[in-house]
Structure 1
Amino acid sequence: MKANKLAALVVTTYVSFGFTAHASAPQPVFSPEQEARIGEIAAEYLVAHPEILVTVSQKLQAQQQERKQKMFALSVMENQAALLHDPDTPVTGPDNAKVAVIEFFDYQCVFCSHFAPELEKVMKAQPDVRYFFREWPIFGNRWEASLSAAQQGLSVWKEKGPQAYVTYHNAVYATGHNEGALTADDIREAAKKAGVSTPAKNDHTALLEKNSNLAESLGLTGTPGIIVMPVSGATPDNITVFPQAVTADQIQDAIRKATQTH
């Protein structure tokens, strides 16, 4: 291995300066000139073998990602009651499901738009999973449709139930209108497809604020934020948090992980 060769090279350099290792001997102290030369030799080797730096960088990134995932998982465990047992949150799937997929999203988020068809694939392939839809219109201050689409979606949920809500949700994203392009007509048409022909009747601002506070408590900084976890027996080892859009295959892998026992 290149890294082992580098270590061997450094050891050889030490010996060439007149130092040998003894179990009971203290660590040698090099002169500034010797330390400088050792550094030069190591630097020359790294320049000749840059793949070592790539390997080290990849390992550091993996370690950072692992730490980040653990922090996310611990936050999820602290908030799992709020995530899984909020009667105001749109949800579909069997009551006895063993795995939950939870998405925090904004209808004007382009990355949420990319993720929407991926989630549709997962829902068709995994009807035994429970899916939670957390309306989080983070672009509401920029685009009015971000808020109005969220309000209408929650009204569809309250009036017509889970299947109508999923129809509305997918219909909004199917327009392909995001980043400020979603219109009031788009929202009305999506609601009609879900069986609702009137504008949102109730103000759901309190729920939207609750979702925002929960997302922040989880450490999410944008949309989409996706959590895959077991409904019971959640641990850092079987929770996955995606703070960005991912593919259907990645969600499927996380669902399998959530079914593992430790």
Structure 2
Amino acid sequence: MNRIAIVLAAIAGILAGALGYSQLNQPQPQTDAVAVRAIVEQVLAEQPKAEPVQAVAQLDPAELNPLIEKFLMSDPKLLQRLSIALDETLSAEEKSRTQTALASMQDAIYNQPDQIVLGNPNGDVTLVEFFDYNCGYCRNALPDLAALLAEDTNLRVILKEFPILSNESIDAARVGVLVGQSDADYWTFHEALFTSRGKVDKAVALAAATDLGLSSVDLELRMKDESVAKTIQNSYEIAQALGISGTPTYIIGNEVIPGAIGVEELRTRIANMRACGESQCS
């Protein structure tokens, strides 16, 4: 059901429950984006007292529908204002839920042992990325992250293994966690997997780790260690709490950003964090 249909259904339900068989005088056009209930209450206030309301199931659509149509046609822009008001309300509710979840997950997001930290570990702004090694959008976004790391010496980057696309992604993530636990150059490993051809699986990940001097036999034996599973599980738990369902997804300050938004947008949000303490300054 589209948004207009939802609004129409809401209006129909309220009118049906409140008006019964009473007749409507033509209401004055509304000029503010107000809620459906407020509009109907205003209309009802202008009406003479009606008989007790009849059950909605008993209302005759042949009588009710013209009333609804007359009401809506009296102000053709009503639905547009209602749609805008609904968007604003839902957006505010979602922002509030996200900020509450972010506040409750601070340690899990920013202070977990074995998490991958790149750039300046003491940077004044932290950018978190959830990624899957088989995510094409993550692959395309790799140069964005590389540019930010190269140009911003005060940026802290946390990478969260979030394998959701395949079992091969899970295997690659396990190897990635082990590489992160070692002294090897994780960024080189990260780039190697995202610039490889074809599906990234255990073999590809082990080959990239071997190129860094790690033992593929040792890595394969430790892929199912509890510490590895715990690191990946941490990403799943954060994602569930924040409603993250795709990759890449970024966290900057008080905002969860789904999708590869491009380096310029990332720069803007990082600059906003430094300017006003939020990813989007008013």
Normalised to the residue count of structure 2, the TM-score between the two structures is 0.64
Q: 1:28 to 1:167 in 2, by over 3 A?
A: same
Give the Cα separation in 2 of the matches to 1:184 and 1:134: 18
Give the Cα separation in 1 of the matches to 2:151 and 2:176: 24
| Alignment-derived partner of residue 94 in structure 2 | 68
Post-superposition offset of 1:91: 0.5
Question: Of 214, 217, 241, which residue of structure 1 is paired with 2:241?
Answer: 217
| Alignment-derived partner of residue 106 in structure 1 | 132
Give the Cα separation in 2 of the matches to 1:97 and 1:228: 13
| Alignment-derived partner of residue 4 in structure 1 | none
Question: Of 206, 214, 217, which residue of structure 1 is paired with 2:230?
Answer: 206
Residue 11 of structure 1: SS of its match in structure 2?
Answer: coil
- Equivalent residues of 2:172, 2:201 under 8 A apart: no
Higher relative contact order (CA 8 A, sep 6+): 1
Post-superposition offset of 1:165: 0.8
Is 1:160 matched with 2:186? no
| Letter of the 1:196 counterpart | G
Give the Cα separation in 2 of the matches to 1:35 and 1:188: 69
Post-superposition offset of 1:89: 0.4
| Alignment-derived partner of residue 28 in structure 2 | 11
Is 1:118 matched with 2:144? yes
Post-superposition offset of 1:64: 2.4
Is 1:190 matched with 2:208? yes
Residue 45 of structure 2: SS of its match in structure 1?
Answer: coil
Residue 107 of structure 1: SS of its match in structure 2?
Answer: coil
| Alignment-derived partner of residue 149 in structure 1 | 172
Is 1:138 matched with 2:164? yes
- Equivalent residues of 1:101, 1:228 under 8 A apart: yes
Give the Cα separation in 1 of the matches to 2:175 and 2:88: 41
Question: Of 250, 255, 260, which residue of structure 1 is paired with 2:270?
Answer: 255
| Alignment-derived partner of residue 171 in structure 1 | 192
- Equivalent residues of 1:88, 1:207 under 8 A apart: yes
| Alignment-derived partner of residue 92 in structure 1 | 118
Residue 241 of structure 1: SS of its match in structure 2?
Answer: strand
Deviation string for 1:143-173 (max 9, x for gaps)?
3x21221122122222225xx1112112211
Post-superposition offset of 1:249: 2.2
| Alignment-derived partner of residue 3 in structure 1 | none
Q: 1:186 to 1:256 in 2, by over 3 A?
A: same
Give the Cα separation in 2 of the matches to 1:63 and 1:248: 30
| Alignment-derived partner of residue 27 in structure 1 | 45
Higher mean C-alpha displacement, 166-175 vs 52-61:
52-61
Residue 130 of structure 1: SS of its match in structure 2?
Answer: strand
| Alignment-derived partner of residue 20 in structure 1 | none
Post-superposition offset of 1:214: 2.8
Normalised to the residue count of structure 1, the TM-score between the two structures is 0.69
Post-superposition offset of 1:132: 0.5
Deviation string for 1:219-259 (max 9, x for gaps)?
32333331112xxxxxxxxx111133322222222212322
| Letter of the 1:225 counterpart | T
**Structure 2 residue runs without a partner (length 5+):** 1-25, 31-43, 51-61
Post-superposition offset of 1:128: 1.2
Residue 160 of structure 1: SS of its match in structure 2?
Answer: coil
Give the Cα separation in 2 of the matches to 1:245 and 1:29: 53
Post-superposition offset of 1:84: 1.5
Give the Cα separation in 1 of the matches to 2:261 and 2:29: 47
| Letter of the 2:179 counterpart | V
- Equivalent residues of 1:101, 1:131 under 8 A apart: yes
Post-superposition offset of 1:213: 2.0
Q: 1:62 to 1:135 in 2, by over 3 A?
A: same
Give the Cα separation in 2 of the matches to 1:119 and 1:77: 25
Post-superposition offset of 1:124: 2.7
Give the Cα separation in 1 of the matches to 2:126 and 2:112: 13
Higher mean C-alpha displacement, 151-160 vs 115-124:
115-124
Residue 246 of structure 2: SS of its match in structure 1?
Answer: coil
Deviation string for 1:47-83 (max 9, x for gaps)?
6x7xx75565455334423432331122111111222
Post-superposition offset of 1:110: 3.2
**Structure 1 residue runs without a partner (length 5+):** 1-8, 14-25, 230-238
| Letter of the 2:267 counterpart | Q
